[in-house]
Amino acid sequence: CVLHGAVWKGRPLSARLARPKADPLARKRRQEDRGELPAGPAACVADVVTPLWAVPYEEQLERKRQECEQVLQKLASPEYQPLLHCPRTPGLGAHQSFLSPLQKVKRVVGVELSQEAVEDARVNALDNELSNVEFHCGRAEELVPALVSRLASQQLVAILDPPRAGLHSKVVLAVRRAENVRRLLYVSCNPRAAMGNFVDLCRAPSNRVKGTPFRPVKAVAVDLFPQTLHCEMLILFERVEYPNGAGALEPQKSLVQTPPAPPGDTPPEARVSPAS
């Protein structure tokens, strides 16, 4: 190199060979030489949308079963049924299999944030001649506490199907305070994210959490999203029944009994000191 060793402004110059740029097509050429074709756009999309598309379905179910069991182990391991596969069906409100149980209950009250979904539900109720249902549009944390208070004189069964992040704490605390809600079905599309709701439903009463706690009695996992990591889990909660009708806030009697004093021996607290 002509410049190498030349002096510029009193300083010698040095020249080094630049590192060669990596050939962006070298990897592709090596794959073609080995007979390996790179993944096309469809395969790339499948890896993102359905990451388990190449995994056998039985192995997918086993992974999701383990995921659900890890959540249930933190809730005292309720009865757990095997993972079920149920393909998604659009418009469940329009199916007679879904609407027929509504004819056997006295009243149904629904809360939904989407106005379009509420309108569809009302149309489905009219088409199926259901007069015992009512739907409210709004945020659950704003509507549920008032609805629970209004229905305080009736025995209720709550069905909670929140978004992936879980229920707002106001809803959980309102349901927990409502002693007329004896059974609760929680539909979770992300059991790990809803763990905080499960804990608030089952924890001991405190200044923040009022009412008799619930306990999980049954859980069923349903695979609505095959070839993905998502899984729906339904957990049935029931109120804890205390023996002898004792309430949740009443202290439990100690199971340790004081042994009887020997004959002729007066307990210390019963002794009277003689007057001086």
Q: What contacts 163, CB < 8 A, 6 or more positions away?
A: 189
What is the C-alpha to C-alpha distance for residues 69 and 229, in angstroms, rounded to an integer?
A: 15
Q: What secondary structure letter does DSSP report for 154?
A: S
Angle subtended at Cα 200 by Cα 164 and Cα 74, rounded to the nearest 5 degrees = 80
Q: Is 189 a catalytic residue?
A: yes
CA-based Rg of the chain, rounded to a whole angstrom?
A: 33
Q: Could you report how far apart the first and last alpha carbons of the chain are, in Å?
A: 119
Q: Annotate 94-136 with DSSP letters as a single string.
A: G-HHHHGGGGGSS-EEEEES-HHHHHHHHHHHHHTT--SEEEE
Query: Per the annotation, does 129 bind a ligand?
Result: no
Query: Per the annotation, does 112 bind a ligand?
Result: yes
Residue among 44, 86, 137, 189 flagged as catalytic:
189
What is the C-alpha to C-alpha distance for residues 47 and 94, in angstroms, rounded to an integer?
A: 34
Beta bridge mates, 185: 159, 236
Q: Which residues are catalytic?
A: 189
Annotated binding site: 103, 112, 161
Which residues are part of a known binding site for S-adenosyl-L-methionine?
103, 112, 161
